[in-house]
Amino acid sequence: MRASRDAGWELLEHTADVGIRAWAPSMPEAFERAGRGLVEVMGAGAATRSETRRLSVHGEDHAGLLVSFLNDLLWVHESTGKGFAAVDVIAVSENTLLAEVELGPIPDPPPEGLGVKAATYHQLYVGRCEEGGVEVRVFLDV
């Protein structure tokens, strides 16, 4: 688990998939934490930066944005073969997410990770925490 009291993420148990629960004081930070969780699940972290990409993601609502954002991260990794040195969510509106990712080579040997097929809508949740801030939950098809 990567967490502090105010922000973090953790893996959720599920019989066939892997889930990520992330939380933070704001929507962009919670989405960013979920993205970082995905990178760790995949074993797709990079120590050095060689390329920056901006992502513009669209969705019907915040939940749809989360799924689209994570699936875009998967696509970037699969299409480039590179890992993520940084995932920064710049802004989240009702229907659009803007992010910047720093890509770099994956270390050799690569970190342990799971082959993630997609982020899913199964038990998907984006909402406010009781203590304040934002919580997201998403399951990954592995």
CA 19 – CA 120 distance, rounded (Å): 10
Q: Output the average pLDDT for the chain.
A: 92
| Span 55-103, pLDDT tens digits | 999 999 999 999 999 999 999 999 999 999 999 999 999 999 999 999 9
pTM equals 0.88
Q: Tell me whether residue 35 is in a domain.
A: yes
CA 39 – CA 89 distance, rounded (Å): 14
Q: Tell me whether residue 24 is in a domain.
A: yes
| Span 125-138, pLDDT tens digits | 999 987 789 999 99
Q: Give the residue among 57, 49, 112 at the shortest CA–CA distance from 83.
A: 49
Domain containing 44 equals 7-130
Q: What is the CATH number of the domain that holds 108?
A: 3.55.10.10
Cβ(98)–Cβ(91) below 8 Å: yes
What is the number of domains present in the chain? 1
